[in-house]
Amino acid sequence: MTLGAGRQQRIATLLRERREGVLDHWVAAVLNTVRGRTTQAELRGQLAELYELVVQAMGEEDGTAAGELSAALQELSRTRARQGFSPSETAVSVFGLKDAVLHEIEAGGGTGVVVYREFASFSKDIDDLGLLTFETYARTREQVIADQAEQLLELSTPVVKLWEGIVGVPLVGTLDSARTQVVMESLLQTLVDTGSEHAVIDITGVPAVDTEVAQHLLKTVVAARLMGAECVISGIRPQIAQTIVALGIEFGDIVTKATLADALAYALERSGVRVGAG
Amino acid sequence: MTSPAEVPITSNDDVVRVRQVVRGLAAEVKMSLVDQTKVVTAASELARNTFVYGGGGTATVELVTNPATGRTGVKIVFTDEGPGIPDVDLALTEGWSSGSGLGLGLSGTRRLVDEFDLETEPGTGTRISVTKWTR
Amino acid sequence: MERVPILKIGDTLLVSIQIDLQDQTVLALQEDLAERIVQTQARGVIIDITAVEIVDSFIGRMFATIASMSRLLDAETVVVGMRPAVAITLVELGLSLGGVRTALDLERGMKLLDSGADLR
C-alpha cells in the first residue's frame, strides 16, 4: 500500500510543516483514552515514530515506508491487545490523527474544496490503517484466548494419588473431546509412572456428556485395561445416566459407583487394603 | 531426515522400514507421542496391505504444512498396482477384512489419522493417502 | 531375520521384545513358544512389551494367538508393560486383544501368574 499516491500534496505539506501542532493534538486525543496506562512522553514517542512513517509514506514511490508503517502499527496493536486495551482504545491511536489534521486545516483557515477533497482521501487511507490495527488486535486477542484455554486445560485435568496404587481424576466442568483426550493420556501415563493398578474417574462435577465424550471415557477404561489397570467411574449424575442409556452407549462391565468415596472403598478392597470403622 | 522419502514395499521387512521412516518424520515435527504412535501404526497397517493385497508397491512419506492452520503434519501415500478394491464402501465398513485375519479392514486405520483418501480401480491398483496433523 | 529369545524362569517362560517386530519374527516366535511350552512344561508365559513402541493388528493378533495356543497347552499368558500410547492406539484401531491378560509391569505379571488359580 502507498499513502496518498501524490494526490494529497497539501496534506503532506501540512504534515511536514505543522508537525508539532498536529502531533500535539494527536497525542492529546489518544492520551484521553489511555490515561494512566502509559505516560505522555512514552505515548508521544510512539506516535512521533508513526508520524514520521506516515510522512515518509506519503512522499515515497516504492512503498518501503508504508511497509514499515504497517509493521509498526501491527506491533503497537499487538502490544495494546496484550496489555488489555479495548478495541476502540487501540483504534483511536490511529483515528486520532484525522482529527488532529482536520483541526490544523481549520486552524490554518483552510478553506476551499481542494483541501477537503484531499482530506477525504487522506481520511480513507487512515481508515485502512485503522482496519489493519483492528485485525491485528482481533488476531492477538484470539491467540491470547487460545493460550489461556490451553493453560486451563492443563490446570483442569489433575491426576492425583488417592492411595498407594490408586490414582484419581476429579473432572470438573464441561468435557469436550480435546479435554477428555488430554485426561485420558495423562491418566494412563500416571498409572505407569506410579505403578498404580487402580484408577477412579470422578465425574461428579461434570454437568453433561455427549456421545463423543462418553466414548472417550469408555476408551480410557479399555486402554487402562490393556495396560493391566482397572478404572472405576464415580459420580454419574442422574441426567448423565439417562443420556448414556438414551444414546445407547454400552458401559458393559465397567464398574461405576455413586460417589468418589464408594469408588475409593471399592478400589481399596480390590487392591487388598482393608478399611474398617475403628 | 529427508522429505519426501520414497520407500519401496517389496517384502515384509519393508513394513518395518516404512514404520521407521514415518516415526522419524513424525518426531521431527514434534508430534505428541500418542499421535506418533497412531500414525506409525496406521502406516504399518497400510504398508502390510500394500504388500499382502497389492502385491507390493511404494510408500511416499513427506512433511506437509496446512496453509489454513499453519500446522505441520506427516503425509503418507501408498500406491500399488495390484487387483484394486472391488467394493470400497464394504472395505471401509467397520470390522470388515478380506484377508485371512489380516488387517482390520480400513475403518480402524482411518480412525488413527486425520485425513484418509482412497482411490482404487479394479485391475489397475490402489492409492491410499493419509495425513496426521500435529495438535 | 532376528529371533526373539525365550527365557525360562521356574515354570514360566519370559519373552522380552526389544526389537521392532517384523511379521516373520512374529510368526517364528509363535512357533518357538509352542515348542518351548511343551518341552519345558511351562505353566505360564509372560510377554514383556515395555520396549515396544508400536503394536499393529498383526502383532496384537499374535498376543491373542499365543494366549489361546498356550491355554491349549495348559499355560497362562500375561502381556506386561504396554505403553499408554500403544494402548490408546489399539483401542482406537478397534483391537481388543480379547482374552489376553495384562499387567502393568513384569513384577505384577509374575504375581498374576502365581495367584494363578482363578485365571480362567
Q: Which of C54, C88, C94 sits opposite B108 (nearest CB)?
A: C94
Chains that touch B (3 or more CB pairs under 8 A): C
The alpha carbon of residue C68 is apart from the nearest alpha carbon of chain A, in Å, by: 17
Reading the block at residue B66, the C-alpha cell is 496446512
* Distance, C-alpha A127 to centroid of its chain: 26
Q: Alpha helices, DSSP H only, in chain A?
A: 9-17, 19-34, 40-59, 64-82, 87-107, 113-155, 177-194, 211-227, 238-246, 260-270
Q: Choose, out of C20, C21, C55, C57, the residue to mutate when testing the contact with B (most B CBs < 10 Å).
A: C57
pLDDT at A154: 66
CB contact under 8 A, C86 and B37: yes
Give chain A's residues under pLDDT 70: 1-6, 110-111, 153-156, 275-278
Q: Choose, out of C1, C17, C19, C23, the residue to mutate when testing the contact with B (most B CBs < 10 Å).
A: C23
pLDDT at C118: 45
Above 70 in pLDDT, residue B95? no
Residue C111 inside a domain? The answer is yes
Residue C1 inside a domain? The answer is no
Q: Which of B20, B34, B104 sits opposite C57 (nearest CB)?
A: B104
Higher pLDDT, B87 or A73: A73
Measure the CA–CA gap between B62 and B131, rounded to whole angstroms.
Answer: 10
**Mean pLDDT, rounded, of chain B:** 88
Inform me whether the C-beta atom of residue A195 falls under 8 Å from chain C C-beta atoms. yes
CATH value at residue B63: 3.30.565.10
The alpha carbon of residue A240 is apart from the nearest alpha carbon of chain C, in Å, by: 23
pLDDT at B101: 44
Q: Which of B20, B94, B103 sits opposite C57 (nearest CB)?
A: B103
Q: Give the phi and the psi of residue A127 in degrees, each rounded to 5.
A: -60, -40
Q: What is the dihedral of CA A184, C59, A198, A252, to 10 degrees?
A: 80
CATH value at residue C35: 3.30.750.24
Residue C80 inside a domain? The answer is yes
Mean pLDDT of B12-39: 94
What pLDDT, in 10s, does the model give residues A120-158? 888 888 898 888 888 888 888 888 888 887 777 666 678
Mean pLDDT of B105-113: 88
Q: Choose, out of B41, B53, B112, B116, the residue to mutate when testing the contact with C (most C CBs < 10 Å).
A: B41
Mean pLDDT of C63-74: 93
Residue C22 inside a domain? The answer is yes
Inform me whether the C-beta atom of residue A272 falls under 8 Å from chain C C-beta atoms. no
Task: For residue B76, give its domain range.
Answer: 5-133
pLDDT at A42: 85
Strand A198-205 to A230-234 pairing: parallel
Residue C120 inside a domain? The answer is no
Helix axes A40-59, A19-34, angle to 10 degrees: 130
- Find chain A residues with C-beta within 8 A of C90's C-beta: 223, 226
- Find chain C residues with C-beta within 8 A of A192's C-beta: 83-84, 104
Reading the block at residue A82, the C-alpha cell is 496484550
CATH 1.10.490.130 at A4-153, yes or no: yes
The alpha carbon of residue C59 is apart from the nearest alpha carbon of chain A, in Å, by: 14
Peptide bond into B4 cis (omega under 30): yes
Q: Could you give the number of structural domains in chain C? A: 1
CB contact under 8 A, B107 and C94: yes
- Find chain C residues with C-beta within 8 A of B12's C-beta: 22-24
Mean pLDDT of C96-102: 84
Task: For residue C51, give its domain range.
Answer: 6-115
pLDDT at A15: 85
Q: Could you give the number of structural domains in chain B? A: 1
The alpha carbon of residue C62 is apart from the nearest alpha carbon of chain A, in Å, by: 15
The alpha carbon of residue C52 is apart from the nearest alpha carbon of chain B, in Å, by: 11
**Superfamily for A160-270?**
STAS domain (3.30.750.24)
Residue whose cell numbers read 510408500: B59
CB contact under 8 A, A184 and C104: no
Inform me whether the C-beta atom of residue C84 falls under 8 Å from chain B C-beta atoms. yes
Strand A166-172 to A198-205 pairing: parallel
User: A93-117 burial, b for 16+ CB within 10 Å, e for fewer?
Assistant: bbbbbbebbbbbbeeeeeeeeebee
Least confident stretch, A173-187, A218-232, B20-34, C60-74: A173-187
Confidence of residue C117 (pLDDT cuts 50, 70, 90): very low
Domain ranges, ordered by start, for chain A: 4-153, 160-270
Residue C24 inside a domain? The answer is yes
User: C64 to each of A230, C60, C78, C95, how far by Cα in Å?
Assistant: 20, 7, 10, 10
Mean pLDDT of C67-95: 93
Reading the block at residue C48, the C-alpha cell is 514383556
pLDDT at C74: 93
